[in-house]
């Protein structure tokens, strides 16, 4: 009977980081994953900048809008609208194997090789001390883990007004990426009127990214091709699969693809892990000494609910409310578009009126070019496609997207529960509810209006405010919350699932609070810590 030492479920951000910690410690590690990939698209995208591709590449439609125009979204902008054809494998088969039923919550999940990290926006924010405590994490261990993660993935950042909210005291980082003219003008206006913004609770600074500006470990520094949503040529952006690919060269690491973990059963001295093979739909049982679930807050919740016989039990749910606000910088309208630029977030505008470094909101600022203008044309009021196309092309060099995230805390109106479903190949689906209290809605609208007003002072003018629906932030947490008490469906501070001996959860399931800042950097840090504790079998 073959029994793995440690079995890590998934290949996303948390799984990759936990697996690296275990492998580096010399443990015998097996990663079990569905691992859908799309190598055909990877080879189609040339190593050229976006402007060159648009002007010269005959087959550009294949990867910009898709062979069957699958990348074209018109009308309502909802979840996954930003996922381009070369990355749509990220959400392939999700509706079949990870079904969710809800009228109030529409999540994005992944069975892809690299999980949701395939399309991660690369923002690397540390939680503040107050937010670390609110989430149920340990401040000292998290600060140490942030350094470890930064050394592994490579982060570009700088010290500025925003760094107390972004990189805090991080020591390991490369120089920041170069800003385009759009964002440099915004930053210049902020610096000229800093007192005005600070008095109103705003600070502005560079966005830290898991993106290299210097070569590192066989990965190339960023080339400013503005193709960040289509390709990872050069691997300057860190993706989970980058780490998993590296781990495959280790003698103590085994990757098992095509397997969806559905449940586990603890036996005397080992854990049985039940899987469904995809696409064969055959049941298979694998075994390990210690199981590390890292399938995401929703995926791990499914596995635990089935395994613990807790169908219909409601689990809490956290998700950052999110809106985005297309803006125009009038001084840039009609200017020649830049060839060398970054498509990811370049600036972050933080609204912390209490100055307590907790409970604040964050707006990430992006230029809008390579994601294709049709995604915004449908949002231009009272205009058809033809008129909108001409107007948006003229405005393109001055377009800025302000993506606003708000914090989230637990409430009785935000929950998940597992419901039997004979039509599903896994035998069930998740019912989800995500409803904000009216006071929360009013507060977030107030903050977004304040952002719009601040934007005008920065020289960017909002065209409208778009709410893509709850779940569109792709930030989920809190389904199996940390607890010092041995309660069912909670985690001990070590990450061990209460009621088990050798099952740990290394993703965001344990977080008791979700700050507005991107959670991925903290996911990676927590996964590293959980793996360390699993190695020591901390209870």
Interior/surface letters 335-356, b for 16+ CB within 10 angstroms, e for the rest:
eebbeebbbbbbbbbbbbeeee
- Residues 73 and 86: their CA atoms lie apart, in Å, by 15
24 occurs within a structural domain: yes
Identify the three-state secondary structure at position 58. Answer: coil
Q: Does residue 376 register a pLDDT over 70?
A: no
Return the pLDDT at 188. Answer: 98
**Is pLDDT at 346 greater than 70 in this prediction?**
yes
Per-residue model confidence (pLDDT) at position 69: 72
For the stretch 166-184, pLDDT in tens is: 999 999 999 999 999 999 9
Residue 82 has a pLDDT of 72
Asked if pLDDT for residue 301 goes beyond 70, the answer is yes
| Tens-place pLDDT, residues 501-536 | 999 999 999 999 999 999 999 999 999 999 999 999
Q: With respect to residue 293, please indicate whether it lies within any of the assigned structural domains.
A: yes
The region of weakest confidence among 19-33, 246-260, 324-338, 390-404 is 390-404
Residue 104 lies in a domain: no
Evaluate if residue 335 carries a pLDDT over 70: yes
Number of domains in the chain: 1
Could you say which DSSP state residue 529 is in? H
Mean pLDDT, rounded, of the chain: 93
Instruction: Tally the C-alpha atoms within 13 A of residue 213's C-alpha that lie toward its C-beta.
Output: 14
Q: Is residue 103 part of a domain?
A: no
Whether pLDDT at 491 is above 60: yes
Question: What separation, in Å, do the N-terminal and C-terminal C-alpha atoms of the chain show?
Answer: 27
Nearest to 105 by CA among 298, 305, 295, 313: 298
How far apart, in whole angstroms, are the C-alpha atoms of residue 504 and residue 266? Answer: 12
- Give pLDDT, residue 93: 97
* Degrees to nearest 5, angle at CA 38 with 82 and 84: 15
Looking at per-residue pLDDT, the higher value among 336 and 42 belongs to 336
pLDDT score recorded for residue 137 = 98
pLDDT reading at 138 higher than 70 = yes
Q: What pLDDT score was predicted for residue 377?
A: 56
The answer to whether residue 70 scores a pLDDT higher than 80 is no
- State the pLDDT at residue 395: 76
| Distance, CA of 358 to CA of 356 (rounded, Å) | 5
Structural domain that includes position 23: 4-36+46-79+87-95+109-535
pLDDT at position 67 over 90: no
User: What's the average model confidence in pLDDT over 408-432?
Assistant: 97
Question: Looking at 42-51, 149-158, 174-183, 399-408, which range is the least confident one?
Answer: 42-51
Q: Which of 432, 516, 372, 527 is nearest to 109 (CA)?
A: 432
Question: Which pLDDT band holds residue 378 (cuts at 50, 70, 90)?
Answer: low
**In this model, does residue 373 exceed pLDDT 70?**
no
Confidence (pLDDT) at 75: 54
Lowest pLDDT segment from 95-109, 208-222, 378-392, 434-448? 378-392
At residue 198, does pLDDT exceed 50? yes
- The mean pLDDT value for 315-321 works out to 98
Tokens of 354: 């209490």
- Asked if the model's pLDDT at residue 271 lies above 60, the reply is yes
How far lies 518's CA from each of 64, 362, 525, in Å?
A: 27, 9, 13
| Cα 293 versus chain centre, distance | 18
Q: How confident is the model at residue 384 (pLDDT cuts 50, 70, 90)?
A: low
- Identify the pLDDT of residue 382: 47
**477 vs 60, 178, 199, 246, 301, CA distance in Å?**
38, 33, 33, 28, 10
CATH of the domain at 364: 3.50.50.60
* pLDDT at residue 130, rounded to an integer: 95
């Amino acid at each position: 009977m073959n029994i793995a030492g440690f079995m890590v479920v998934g290949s996303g951000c948390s799984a990759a980081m936990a697996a690296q910690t275990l492998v580096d410690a010399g443990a015998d590690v097996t990663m079990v994953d569905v691992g859908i990939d799309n190598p055909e698209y990877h080879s189609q995208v040339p190593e050229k900048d976006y402007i060159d591709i648009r002007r010269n590449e005959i087959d550009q439609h294949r990867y910009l809008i898709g062979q069957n125009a699958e990348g074209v979204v018109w009308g309502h902008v909802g979840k996954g609208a930003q996922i381009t054809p070369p990355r749509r494998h990220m959400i392939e088969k999700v509706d079949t194997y990870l079904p969710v039923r809800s009228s109030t919550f529409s999540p994005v999940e992944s069975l892809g090789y690299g999980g949701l990290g395939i399309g991660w926006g690369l923002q690397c924010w540390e939680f503040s001390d107050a937010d670390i405590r609110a989430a149920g994490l340990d401040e000292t261990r998290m600060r140490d883990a942030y350094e470890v993660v930064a050394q592994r993935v490579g982060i570009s950042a700088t010290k500025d007004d925003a760094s107390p909210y972004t990189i805090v005291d991080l020591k390991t980082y490369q120089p920041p990426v170069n800003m385009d003219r759009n964002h440099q003008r915004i930053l210049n206006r902020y610096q000229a009127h800093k007192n005005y913004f600070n008095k109103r609770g705003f600070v502005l600074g560079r966005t830290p990214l898991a993106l290299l500006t210097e070569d590192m470990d066989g990965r190339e520094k960023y080339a400013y091709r503005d193709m960040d949503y289509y390709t990872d040529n050069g691997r300057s952006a860190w993706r989970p699969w980058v780490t998993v690919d590296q781990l495959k060269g280790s003698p103590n690491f085994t990757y098992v693809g095509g397997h969806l973990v559905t449940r586990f059963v603890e036996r005397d001295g080992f854990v049985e892990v039940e899987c469904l093979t995809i696409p064969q739909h055959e049941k298979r049982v694998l075994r390990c000494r210690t199981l590390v679930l890292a399938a995401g807050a929703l995926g791990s919740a499914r596995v635990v609910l089935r395994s613990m016989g807790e169908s219909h039990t409601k689990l809490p749910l956290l998700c950052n409310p999110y809106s985005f606000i297309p803006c125009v910088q009038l001084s840039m309208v009609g200017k020649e578009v830049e060839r060398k630029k970054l498509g990811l977030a370049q600036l972050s505008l933080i609204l912390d009126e209490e100055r307590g470094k907790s409970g604040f909101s964050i707006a990430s600022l992006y230029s809008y070019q390579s994601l294709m203008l049709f995604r915004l044309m449908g949002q231009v009021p009272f205009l058809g496609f033809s008129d909108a196309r001409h107007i948006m092309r003229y405005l393109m060099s001055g377009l800025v997207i302000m993506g606003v995230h708000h914090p989230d805390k637990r409430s009785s109106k935000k929950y998940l529960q597992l419901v039997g479903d004979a039509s599903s190949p896994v035998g069930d689906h998740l019912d989800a509810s995500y409803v904000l209290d009216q006071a929360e809605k009013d507060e977030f609208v107030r903050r977004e209006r304040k952002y719009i007003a601040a934007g005008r002072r920065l020289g960017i003018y909002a065209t409208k405010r778009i709410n893509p629906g709850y779940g569109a932030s792709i930030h989920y947490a809190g389904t199996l919350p940390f607890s010092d008490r041995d309660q069912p469906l909670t985690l001990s501070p070590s990450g061990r699932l209460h009621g088990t001996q050798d099952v740990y959860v290394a993703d965001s399931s344990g977080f008791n609070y979700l700050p507005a800042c991107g959670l991925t950097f903290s996911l990676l840090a927590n996964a590293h810590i959980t793996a360390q504790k699993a190695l020591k079998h901390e209870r």
